[in-house]
A and B are shown apart, each in its own frame.
Chain A
Amino acid sequence: MISGSVVPLIVALAGAPLMQGVIIRTKSVIAGRTGQPLMQPYRDLWKLLHKGAVYSQTTSWIFRIGPVVGLASLLLALALMPFGGFPALSAFSGDVILLAYLMALGRFLTVLAALDTGSSFEGMGASREVTFSALAEPALFLSLAALARETGRISIGPLLTAVSWSVWAHAAPMLGLTLAALVIVFLAENARIPVDDPATHLELTMIHEVMVLDHGGPDFAMIQYGATLKMWLFATIIVAVAAPWHSGNRWIDTAIGLAGMLILAIATGVIESSMARLRLLRVPQLLLVAIVLSALAVAL
């Protein structure tokens, strides 16, 4: 089962919170503030890991297993992702499907943990989460199908490695549309503006943050870390499609990949600073745009 390299997994585990730090820093700079140190997300995780825990009286064991399964499913999903020149830890025909459904499993239990508290705020967040992810799912699958049709692979690792500048040379419109759809899915799945505002202060308007309102201490650390890993995962796909350099040297490719992640993080920060969150009623329309873009890509 294990055939590839552990490097992509290690890079993800180590680098994911930094991406979050870069986004926050970019937003601070644009807003004219100094902002928090780049390493602040790591310190936050460290701090959370050293706290005790307060559980709601309403909750059951579902609330306890939510963060654990959420993080575990993301760790396994990351084992399918390649990075730079390094192949994924595991790859098999059809693993793209497993990738999407592992994330669905994490979401299933996070949503149940939110409903377990009996709080209407968390119920509201959970409801929005399942709504938007149900609409993001077809866009994700169609984008992956477009890439699969072009590269002839249905395993995410080899599929991403097979994208190269020569593919861009003859299928640029298809790759461009796919990329646009993937960016929308990336923003929606990771609770970024224009879908969700991670920095908002009002529970009523949140999606992801409000779902995890009652988690604290190590549980919250797992959830926060899981969120950075999920972002890393989607970013890996986008960077692999947008900047498919294959120099032959794995370390150079990895450095290019890391630079790509940095640029994507900065771009996300710029998007977040330059536009407002959409009204919640408008979000399904944005996701519909992603579906249409990916359907066009697959038809090309």
Chain B
Amino acid sequence: MGAPAQSLRMAWDVPYGSLYLRLDALSAFFLVPIFLICALAALYGTEYLEAYRERKSLASAWFFLNLLAASMTVVVLASNAVLFLVAWETMSLSSFFLVTFENEKESTRRAGWTYLVASHIGATFLLVLFVLLGKSNGSLDFDCFSRVSGAGGLFLLALAGFGTKAGFVPLHVWLPEAHPAAPSHVSAVMSAVMIKTGIYGLLRVLTFLGPMQAWWGWTLCVIGLSSGVLGVLLALAQHDLKRLLAYHSVENIGIIALGIGVGIVGLSLGEPFVAVAGFAGAMLHVLNHALFKALLFLDAGNIAHTTHTREIDRLGGLLARMPGTGVTFLVGAAAISGLPPLNGFISEFLIYLASFKGAVSSGAFGSAPMLAALSGLALIGGLAVACFTKAFGIVFLGQPRSERAEHAREAGFAMVAPGLVLAAGCVLIGLSGAGVIRSMAPLISSVTRLQSSLIGFDLAEAANSVEHVAGFGVFLIAVAALLALARTKVLARRPVSTAPTWDCGYASPSSRMQYTASSFAQPLTASFRMLLQTREVLSGMEATFPRRAGFHSHTDDPYQRYLFQPIVKSVERVTAFLRPLQQGGVQLYVLYIVVSLLAVLLWEIA
């Protein structure tokens, strides 16, 4: 990443546009996950899509996947606003067609429309942002954006536009709809890398806006905390495995925003270490989240592929039936919960470290966002452990809860191998994070504009701590291995037998008597019911001896329900009077054409 930026410029007939690509440290960093995840997803898709061969044309699925990969590449390379917006739009549209791959399902079509509307509302903000930037600079090339008026307003536009793509609360509502609806390898690409283009865009725009102001950092901290906490809480309340993972993307985007926010506050406080560690943590988390989220979505795809259900409470006991998927899912679950010695811990550690330093060295006012970040991260971490013990424990452990789970089979090589590669990546970054952090200097420098000697010094300090963490990781593995060995030695000469699980003397426990995911999460969803508004329906408990009883709980997205639905409803009401114009009668449309032609003619004459 230390190499000088390379650029390629070609003429383009579009007004104000130029085919101007520029590869600098920031672009290069985002290209790594884009290429890696897209390649692995494509490998995975070869086997995953076979099941649809009879029913569907796979050509469009492959076409749009390639188009999505290409457009994401152009998005992070583009150095001209027109080119950027064209690539951005191509990215949104190609992913829209991928989301609606199974368009025979009504829920998929609805998810697709939600996604399409949301991405275009987001794109509108970006259009305004770039027009404003272009107006004050006379060019739409990124390297001409030097004069900026009203940086705060531009920051808010970028926040809304890129935040919609990234999935900041409350602009995330499309995310839990669209990601689960897509085929699993597409969910992986979307959740792991596509939403990161929102983070990339935000960082790129920050480099245009001149000195960063403290309130930007505060805003990002608030957004990060609410996305993080709400994302993980909503994930906890889900019954659908892919929907749960999609909400975790909201949570992790929140952690990234929190890191950037802490970094900006650090810059404005004049605390270089806080800034450097905050930004480094946020960016490393971009890469880390790409690895483990892609891994988890691909594994969720393996499960759906063989069991034909994503309902967590219908699964169970899959670890014995799908060992490869199980092990990799466990690695992904531990990594996303931020547990040592895996990669998720390293990036969260950096953000924690930045907040601790900031809390220690600044006054009461400056330390407030730092302390909020600390306690928020701690809460998010605890809830993530709860959520992923639920996801892994109920899906992979215990006994199968349904016929389908009972007959689950491990997926083939092309669907397991990508997971193994990603899991290895999680372990590798977990144990060698210090090297990655040291190499991030040019990246941090391009965003923070701090002196490179200062950045090098602070990164070295952070890397030193991370080296210790890695050392502890190695020791942890060694001590655990020694203890396991000692136990094997000790048990070698003693009777070791198996028996049914202890159920207080009841000797034939059945799989239906196991704890369910909903029950597992209930204490937490009940504690946070103010935020979640879970609806519970208990039926059939009427007579003295009730025969059939049922329980059903459902957690809607509160923002969808209480914020966006009312807005959409009122827009619908206001625009209802336009409806008579669109009736589907060809004669009427011919009339419109004639009338407008006449109008144009008359206007020309006059």
**One of A26-34, A108-116, A250-258, A267-275 contacting the partner:** A108-116
Asked if B446 is an interface residue, CB under 8 A from chain A, the answer is: no
Given the interface pairs A69-B480, A218-B491, the reply to whether A97 lies near B397 with Cβ below 8 Å is no
Asked if A295 is an interface residue, CB under 8 A from chain B, the answer is: yes
**One of B36-44, B258-266, B514-522 contacting the partner:** B514-522
Task: Please give, as numbers and ranges, the residues of chain A lying within 8 Å of B319 by CB-CB distance.
Answer: 60, 62
> Which residue from chain A places its CB closest to the CB of B471 in the assembled complex?
A1
Chain A CB within 10 A, most for which of B353, B361, B382 = B382
* A194 CB to nearest chain B CB (Å): 17
Of the candidates B378, B393, B498, B524, the one whose C-beta lies within 8 Å of that of A116 is B393
Question: Do residues A124 and B515 form an inter-chain contact, with CB atoms below 8 A?
Answer: yes
Task: Please give, as numbers and ranges, the residues of chain A lying within 8 Å of B523 by CB-CB distance.
Answer: 127-128, 131, 280, 284
* B140 CB to nearest chain A CB (Å): 43
Question: Do residues A58 and B359 form an inter-chain contact, with CB atoms below 8 A?
Answer: no
* B483 CB to nearest chain A CB (Å): 5
Interface size on A, residues (CB 8 A): 83
Question: Do residues B483 and A108 form an inter-chain contact, with CB atoms below 8 A?
Answer: no
**One of B500-508, B553-561, B582-590 contacting the partner:** B500-508
> Which residue from chain B places its CB closest to the CB of A280 in the assembled complex?
B523
Asked if A6 is an interface residue, CB under 8 A from chain B, the answer is: no
Question: Do residues A53 and B494 form an inter-chain contact, with CB atoms below 8 A?
Answer: yes
Residues of chain B in range 486-535 having any CB-CB distance to chain A below 8 Å: 487, 490-491, 494-504, 509, 511, 513-515, 519-524, 527
Given the interface pairs A53-B494, A53-B496, A126-B393, the reply to whether A118 lies near B511 with Cβ below 8 Å is yes
Asked if A133 is an interface residue, CB under 8 A from chain B, the answer is: yes
Question: Do residues B498 and A57 form an inter-chain contact, with CB atoms below 8 A?
Answer: yes
Instruction: Report the separation of the CA atoms of residues A137 and B386 in the bound assembly, to the nearest whole angstrom.
Output: 12
Task: Please give, as numbers and ranges, the residues of chain A lying within 8 Å of B520 by CB-CB distance.
Answer: 115, 123, 126-127
Asked if A179 is an interface residue, CB under 8 A from chain B, the answer is: no
Given the interface pairs A69-B480, A98-B469, the reply to whether A104 lies near B382 with Cβ below 8 Å is yes
Given the interface pairs A112-B392, A138-B379, the reply to whether A55 lies near B498 with Cβ below 8 Å is yes
Question: Do residues B479 and A76 form an inter-chain contact, with CB atoms below 8 A?
Answer: yes
Asked if A47 is an interface residue, CB under 8 A from chain B, the answer is: no
Question: Do residues A94 and B491 form an inter-chain contact, with CB atoms below 8 A?
Answer: no
Instruction: Report the separation of the CA atoms of residues A219 and B502 in the bound assembly, to the nearest whole angstrom.
Output: 16
Instruction: Report the separation of the CA atoms of residues A127 and B398 in the bound assembly, to the nearest whole angstrom.
Output: 15
Question: Do residues B389 and A112 form an inter-chain contact, with CB atoms below 8 A?
Answer: yes
Residues of chain A in range 54-109 having any CB-CB distance to chain B below 8 Å: 54-60, 62, 64-65, 68-69, 71-73, 75-76, 90, 92-98, 100-102, 104-105, 107-108
Task: Please give, as numbers and ranges, the residues of chain B lying within 8 Å of A65 by CB-CB distance.
Answer: 480, 484
Asked if A247 is an interface residue, CB under 8 A from chain B, the answer is: no
Task: Please give, as numbers and ranges, the residues of chain B lying within 8 Å of A123 by CB-CB distance.
Answer: 393, 514-515, 519-520
Task: Please give, as numbers and ranges, the residues of chain A lying within 8 Å of B472 by CB-CB distance.
Answer: 76, 90, 98, 102
Instruction: Report the separation of the CA atoms of residues A135 and B524 in the bound assembly, to the nearest whole angstrom.
Output: 9
Question: Do residues A76 and B475 form an inter-chain contact, with CB atoms below 8 A?
Answer: yes
Instruction: Report the separation of the CA atoms of residues A53 and B495 in the bound assembly, to the nearest whole angstrom.
Output: 7
Given the interface pairs A60-B397, A72-B479, the reply to whether A120 lies near B386 with Cβ below 8 Å is no
Instruction: Report the separation of the CA atoms of residues A153 and B376 in the bound assembly, to the nearest whole angstrom.
Output: 21
Question: Do residues A118 and B521 form an inter-chain contact, with CB atoms below 8 A?
Answer: no
Instruction: Report the separation of the CA atoms of residues A218 and B494 in the bound assembly, to the nearest whole angstrom.
Output: 11
Asked if A49 is an interface residue, CB under 8 A from chain B, the answer is: yes
Task: Please give, as numbers and ranges, the residues of chain A lying within 8 Å of B522 by CB-CB distance.
Answer: 127
Task: Please give, as numbers and ranges, the residues of chain B lying within 8 Å of A133 by CB-CB distance.
Answer: 382, 385
Question: Do residues B502 and A98 form an inter-chain contact, with CB atoms below 8 A?
Answer: no
Task: Please give, as numbers and ranges, the residues of chain A lying within 8 Å of B479 by CB-CB distance.
Answer: 72, 75-76
Instruction: Report the separation of the CA atoms of residues A116 and B514 in the bound assembly, to the nearest whole angstrom.
Output: 10
Question: Do residues B503 and A119 form an inter-chain contact, with CB atoms below 8 A?
Answer: yes
Instruction: Report the separation of the CA atoms of residues A210 and B283 in the bound assembly, to the nearest whole angstrom.
Output: 41
Asked if A203 is an interface residue, CB under 8 A from chain B, the answer is: yes
Q: List 17 A–B pairs whose Cβ atoms lie within 8 Å, in order of A's numbering.
A: A52-B494, A52-B496, A56-B501, A65-B480, A68-B483, A93-B461, A104-B381, A116-B398, A120-B514, A121-B502, A121-B504, A124-B519, A126-B393, A126-B515, A130-B390, A131-B523, A145-B359
With A108-B389, A217-B494 known, 14 other A-B pairs at CB within 8 A are A62-B319, A62-B330, A64-B484, A69-B480, A76-B475, A93-B353, A112-B397, A115-B394, A118-B397, A141-B374, A142-B378, A149-B360, A295-B375, A299-B364
- Nearest 3 CB-CB pairings of A with B: A123-B515, A134-B382, A115-B393
Task: Name B's A-contacting residues (CB within 8 A).
Answer: 316-317, 319-320, 330, 334, 337-340, 345, 349, 352-353, 356-357, 359-361, 364, 367, 371, 374-379, 381-383, 385-386, 388-390, 392-394, 397-399, 461, 464-465, 468-469, 471-472, 475-476, 479-480, 483-484, 487, 490-491, 494-504, 509, 511, 513-515, 519-524, 527
